[in-house]
Chains A and B, each alone.
Chain A
Amino acid sequence: MEEVYITRLERTKAEILASRKQAMTVVTVCGGTGCHAYGCLKVAQAFEEEIKRQNLHRQVSVRTTGCHGFCERGPIVVIQPDGIFYQRVQIPDIQEIVTETIKNKKILDRLLYVDPKTKKSVVLEKEVPFYKTQERIVFGNNGFIDPKDIRDYIALDGYKALAKVLFEMTAEEVIDEIKASNLRGRGGAGFPTGKKWEICRDSKSDVKYIICNADEGDPGAYMDRSLLEGNPHSVIEGMIIGAYAIGASEGYIYVRMEYPLAVNNITLALEQAREYGLLGQSILGSEFHFDIHVFRGAGAFVSGEETSMMASIEGKRAFPKQRPPFPAQKGLWGNPTNINNVETWANVPYIINRGAEWYSGIGTPTSKGTKIFSLVGKINNTGLVEVPMGITMRKIVYDIGGGIKNNKKFKAVQTGGPSGGCLPAQLLDLPIDYESLTRAGSMMGSGGMIVMDEENCMVDVARYFLNFTQEESCGKCVPCRVGTRQLVEILTRITQGKGEEEDIKKLQNLSKTIKSTSLCGLGQTAPNPVLTTLRYFRDEYEAHIKEKACPALVCKELIVYHIEPEKCVGCLLCLKSCPVEAISGERKKVHVIDQDLCIKCGACFDICPPKVRAVSKYTGKKKERVLKKASDPRVNR
């Protein structure tokens, strides 16, 4: 019986592979959310039509795959099996690609990625610097798989780990394997996954649940989304293995409704898995029964907290609960429940397939394996990156990320989303793992990484994140609901130049109380952006408060725009772009900004030609000087 099912899985794989032999060349078009926005679906369709038109469809197939990660350069097209990497492919390029590259094996130089450092074109995907430094395990198959087709996953050894677990391993052995791998929760807190499973397994109950936390809410983070969209079966396989280890009979994938493609793909994947006997009664002919439901969250950030997620699934308001009891003891509907993040689940099949030893060989002594980060902000190569634990921030920012946009100076990187902290340039060589990030005052979080340059005001950044947590606080406990509100009030005051000397102390004091007395992780980490910016960028706070100056020239109330008379060529560009008609002047005559009318929108600054650069921003004493001059009747009139 057992043999039959395993061989059936293997036979399916063999059949799929055999059926694909003819079509040796595969054009993979990235179908991730970023490329979607660039119009990848139309590109893929155009490829199909073109290939058919040229009568190549017997030898060449087109596949819309999961996210390749290099979102900055979408739509991305990779021609397999060679791995020729074309970026920013548009519909007019397609005919040429088919004729030249596919038919005549000629590389089209203009579509290749040019390494900005060496100025050389790169042909192969794996040679692109963005990918070179990465270690893509969880994301590894994203670029090869059509997430809407389970056969693609099976063809790449999908569900092999599940078969192994079901027929060769006991539940205890699975847990031991995961424990030995040292896999830690990828949702942020980094609790050892194997231990978590063990606690839940040891809880006595007839009914147990597992949940996949896909309520990714950090601004700028989208790795869970890309996994669900790009390789849903790896998550499902991980969940089934987890359920087997824990003894759960039902699972939930809690995914936000704002991720329609993820909801779509995962729902489809579950249907296909059921069709293949991978879910439901007697999975693969074993005695193990398990099924998964998709639960769509309504977009509340706090629902990502495990206890409020369970409340939400129960149909209640997403309010977190005091722990203990922990979900592993008393979770969903009062039954033992294990919650893991999407990425954690997706790691599981790889660990089972390749062994704990292999896995624990990657990373640092305390943090094993790889971690996916979403690299966004003022960085050249925006995208999703998967790197081994322990890599330095510098490598991520400069080698993979390609450095700061427009050659500006690096200032800070916010890790861990709104609950994390801002790490400064002096920590660029910090090896990234759970402990080091926490020591630095930030956290791993789910893996958001927002890069900031010299044009970011750190007080303003702190205010931005606190405003986010303030709005997303569930309202249940006082320190979080009112505390964050008061933090925002104080920060806003500082950015408006109304800060007082004791404000810094007040911020620290209140932040400490919020951290130590809040009910759930949201409140307990909410002050992190304030505390880290205070720790690493205290001078900026002091400049705002004491000198009423914003060194980054961001806080509107503290800056002034000024047209340098000696530089202005009188081109009328800024005058025309000003929305409030605050600029006066004539052609070939120096333009002047009326400071009383100016709303500091920055339109003049942006439009002034780079050659001229006549508009400047000033703050602090220089600002006072400009204002004084402006109010001087001799100059003005």
Chain B
Amino acid sequence: MKIRIDEHIIETEEHKTILEVARDNDIFIPSLCDFQGLEPFTGCRLCIVEVSGKKGFPPACGTYVEEGMEVKTKTARLQRMRRQILELILSEHPNACLICREKENCDEFKSTIRKVGEVTGCVLCSNNGRCDLQDIVEALKLDTIHFPSVYRNFEVKKADPFFDRNYNLCILCGRCVRVCQEIRGAAAISFIFRGTKAIVGTMWDRPLIDAGCQFCGACADACPTGALSERAVKYDAAPDARKETICGLCSMGCTLEVDSTQGKLLSSQPAEQGPVNHGQACVRGRFMIRDVFSSPRRILSPMMRKGKGLEEVEWDEALTYVAQRLKEFKGKEIGMLISPHLSCEDNYLLLKFAREALKSRKVFGAFDDSVYSAYQRMVGRQNLLTHLNYRIEDIGQADVIFLLGEELPNTHPLIWLEVLKTVKNGAKLIIASPFDSPMNRYAVLSLIHKPGAEASLLNFIAKDIHENTDSEKLSRIKGFDAFQSFLNRLDPSQIPELTGLAEEVLRKAARIFAEGERRAFLFGSRLTLAAEPEQNLISLWNLALERKAQLFPLGGESNLRGTLEIRKDQPGGFLSLSKLVQALSSGELKALYIVGPVPPVGKKKPEFLVVQDSHTSETAERADVVLPAATFLETEGVFVNTEGRVQKFNKVVNPRGKSKPDWWIISKIGRKMQHRDFTYKNPSAIWRDISRSVAGFSRISRASLNKREVFLQEEKRGEKRFLSPKVKPAVEQTSKKYPYLLCCEPNLDYYRNMIFSKENRGFRKIRDARWVMVSLEDAETLRLKGGEEVVLESTNGRCQRIVKISRAVPEGTLRARYIPGDDADDTLARLYTSQTEEPRLWRPMPVRIKRGQ
């Protein structure tokens, strides 16, 4: 389609607004309320244009192009009206600096004074220089305001974590409100009041935290003025550098833009062109990046145990000592624990170090319970043909989404946004979970089932579908007969007993699922934190095969997939954390090299303990040598996200203190142990090895990353066939002594040994890691109050928690989130750590609950 804008004749397509077309062609039309990804708002009226044949002055942002349209964007009349509208906007916004005659001199010679309570001009505003309003005043060359100023005199709202809200600077463009509703689905804020009193706010003007805000920061990023400003950097100098990198705090792999000044990290914002996040982030990527770098608990110098305490030493001394001590042990006496937060290069080198320098096969990983590990294990063992790679956009193709075992808005925010978008476009969402959650309001059907009943639930759905559909095609698939006879053996009258759901409800779920044409299965950690994880996955696999659904495993840490890939073809794989606990308590392990977080390993310390970490921990305090590692912000490397997307993250600031990248430390120790292979100068040298030896990365050049989309290489092998599940999968049973079943879910709010809620008060306010959720009924019987401290006791141990009473949990069930690396005394892991048997971490655990400490 051809249209004309001013003197340009433009070839364009339908469903685009005049403003979009103008932007695509570098034609400037001023606009304040329009924002990437949002529906047209047409509120600021700055983008008015003249369209031949149309009455009045339609806004470019809300007018769609039509064949042969002739648009004028810069007539004198338009400019005059735009200026007057801008004057009106500025009559409500501090404007002295914007129209000041000394503006240029001021910019040049005066430094910004930011530490003021009240913003009355640009030089006092934290957004100075990054303000859309300033840009538009500049573009429209406005130099006088003919209207008296109206200062609205709102109190600055500071009750919430992370950012302040100063609505005296608000121009009511509604971007924050719309981004919160349309993109984030949170709808925590809204317009309130009307007329001249109209403003943005929450219900009853409560703090954001009470309004269901997730603190993703999208509103602050969308704000064109300084009305919403990040508190931590509000008073900092303006950034002198902005670098792009990949967020290392979870498996989404969002692209972030990180600001710094003089080597000090300031803040991070989601990058608009991020292939995964498209300008969105979550509370971790938006507000925790700064803390990861500048945490007071960062280890800044190598330390060695001298006498009773740890003393700071030079690198060389520490490295020599480590090399010398490690040589004293036999390979099977040495263990290594690695972290899925490290880059592919770091982990590759650590494994190589264990293999070649330590001659050890005992590499432990705190992720044996993750969905990816379990799923990969099953696929490998059963020799199944499947893809582990996917694109988050693929979810958008689905018309039925079945979500199991994850609370997406917290754990996988970007995937949740895709789900939300898909649901808004008409897809049906089914959620199966033992717990209710705010996200369930988007589901057409919530299956609140008995804890651990996932396998039965899926089996019965498969049975219903089997009964109501023609299975001729399926009968050609291997294993169908066994599967069919398995389904026939299932007795629907047992549904209530096994799943806690009514038969009709499951049948309804089956109908919705079967009626879809493109089905998506999203499954997360709760499936694999069961008594028999594989049973859940088998049932899932069968159902997905029966009704052709794409499987979307939900990843955990930032480089879990990369880490698993590196070790995939090597003998032994990763040993589970439970095995580590056992090996330590039995005294089998004498030396331990830890780079990742570790749950409490009992009072017994191995003979020699090295902790190489970015943040200090209780384990580090007991170590013989502590080596300061750089975070992902201070080095470079490659992460593989949950989709299998291979992305390079960049160094945005220099390492703090004396900390060094992990690969550097390992290389040095390797050299000190006289291994010639450890001569790597930089991560790219290591990558060359990886791309040669690791199948998934073969022939992937590091230079190509971030320039185009690169995914892990998957080999096509195995077959599609039905698996045979058990009729009655094992379920954890409570007893008289331990009458409550504690369900644990992973908490991804950590990086290596830094636990966000422990370090950051704001974060603690929104997502405290220490709670245990108790049902209303149980709280009443136990006479517990919200916020009260309680002790949970299992057969193995005890831990402390804070009560959170919720309707979302059923009677008799407790819910908590564990942090894989939390080694503190109150960690949930203590409930699992047994001296006698191999503990199976994080499975549903029968406990009792007591008031007090």
Using CB atoms and an 8 Å cutoff, list the residues of chain A in contact with chain B. Answer: 300, 302, 317, 319, 321-322, 470-479, 481-483, 485-486, 489, 506, 509-510, 513, 516-519
Contact = CB atoms under 8 A, between A and B. Distances in A.
Given A471-B194, A471-B195, A485-B196, A478 B85 contact: yes
A486 B147 contact: yes
Interface string B126-140: 000000000000000
Interface stretch (B38-46, B216-224, B432-440): B38-46
A517 B191 contact: no
Contact of A506 (B43, B59, B146, B193): B146
Nearest to B150: A485
A486 B147 CA distance: 7
Contacts of B197: 475
Given A302-B194, A486-B91, A476 B81 contact: no
A300 B193 CA distance: 10
Contact of A516 (B41, B81, B92): B81
A489 B147 CA distance: 9
Contacts of B172: 475-476, 478, 481
Nearest to A301: B194
Interface in B71-86: 81, 84-85
Contacts of B147: 486, 489
Nearest to A512: B81
A474 B193 CA distance: 8
Nearest to A475: B198
A133 to B, nearest CB: 38
Interface in B52-91: 56-59, 62-63, 81, 84-85, 88-89, 91
A474 B42 contact: no
Contact of B88 (A317, A476, A478, A516): A478
B174 interface: yes
A516 B195 contact: no
Q: Which 10 A-B pairs have the closest CB atoms?
A: A475-B198, A322-B62, A482-B88, A322-B42, A471-B195, A476-B43, A513-B84, A517-B45, A486-B147, A485-B196
B190 interface: yes
6 contacts: A322-B63, A473-B195, A474-B198, A478-B171, A513-B81, A513-B85
Nearest to A502: B146
A517 B85 contact: yes
Best-buried of A300, A472, A519 by chain B (most CB within 10 Å)? A519
Contacts of A471: 194-196
Nearest to A488: B196
Nearest to B45: A517
B500 to A, nearest CB: 33
B572 interface: no
Best-buried of B42, B91, B197 by chain A (most CB within 10 Å)? B42
A300 B45 contact: no
Given A475-B191, A475-B195, A506-B146, A519 B88 contact: no
A482 B43 contact: no
B195 A470 contact: yes
Nearest to B92: A482
B148 interface: yes
A482 B81 contact: no
Contacts of A475: 172, 191, 193-199
Majority SS at the chain B contact face = loop
B45 A518 contact: yes
A516 B49 CA distance: 11
Nearest to B84: A513
A483 B45 CA distance: 12
Interface string B391-433: 0000000000000000000000000000000000000000000
A474 B150 contact: no
B194 A519 contact: no
B196 A470 contact: yes
A473 B56 contact: no
Q: Sort chain B's interface into a size bin.
A: 35 or more
Contact of B57 (A302, A486, A516): A516
Contact of A509 (B45, B84, B85, B150): B84
Contacts of A486: 88, 91, 147-148
A482 B91 contact: yes
B300 interface: no
A517 B195 contact: no
Contacts of A489: 147-148, 150
A477 B88 contact: no
A517 B57 contact: yes
B45 A519 contact: yes
Contacts of B58: 322
A305 to B, nearest CB: 13
B48 interface: yes
Best-buried of B45, B48, B197 by chain A (most CB within 10 Å)? B45
Nearest to A490: B147
Nearest to B85: A478
Given A483-B88, A485-B150, A478 B44 contact: yes
Given A478-B43, A482-B92, A517 B48 contact: yes
A397 B450 CA distance: 76
Contact of A472 (B44, B85, B195): B195
Best-buried of B172, B191, B194, B195 by chain A (most CB within 10 Å)? B195
Interface in B167-195: 171-172, 174, 190-191, 193-195
B190 A317 contact: yes
A444 to B, nearest CB: 19
Given A476-B174, A479-B88, A486-B91, A519 B195 contact: no
A313 B63 CA distance: 25
B469 to A, nearest CB: 27
Contacts of A300: 194
A478 B42 contact: no
Nearest to A489: B148
B196 A519 contact: no
B191 A317 contact: yes
A300 B197 CA distance: 14
B482 to A, nearest CB: 45
A309 to B, nearest CB: 15
A327 to B, nearest CB: 15
B32 to A, nearest CB: 9
A513 B41 CA distance: 19
Contacts of A477: 42-45
Contacts of A472: 194-195
A485 B151 CA distance: 13
Contacts of B84: 509-510, 513
B608 to A, nearest CB: 65
A510 B88 CA distance: 10
A473 B46 CA distance: 18
Given A477-B42, A482-B89, A519-B43, 18 more contacts: A302-B194, A321-B42, A472-B195, A474-B198, A475-B172, A475-B198, A478-B44, A478-B89, A479-B88, A481-B172, A481-B198, A482-B92, A485-B196, A486-B148, A489-B147, A509-B84, A517-B57, A519-B42
Contacts of A476: 41, 43, 172, 174, 191
B194 A479 contact: no
Contacts of A481: 172, 195-196, 198
Contacts of B195: 470-475, 481
A460 B196 CA distance: 20
Contacts of A485: 150, 196
A481 B85 CA distance: 11
Contact of B194 (A321, A473, A509, A513): A473
A509 B87 CA distance: 13
Best-buried of A470, A485, A517 by chain B (most CB within 10 Å)? A517
A544 B248 CA distance: 69
Best-buried of B84, B146, B150, B172 by chain A (most CB within 10 Å)? B84
Nearest to B196: A485
Interface in B661-697: none
A472 B43 CA distance: 16
A317 B193 CA distance: 10
Nearest to B88: A482
A519 B196 CA distance: 16
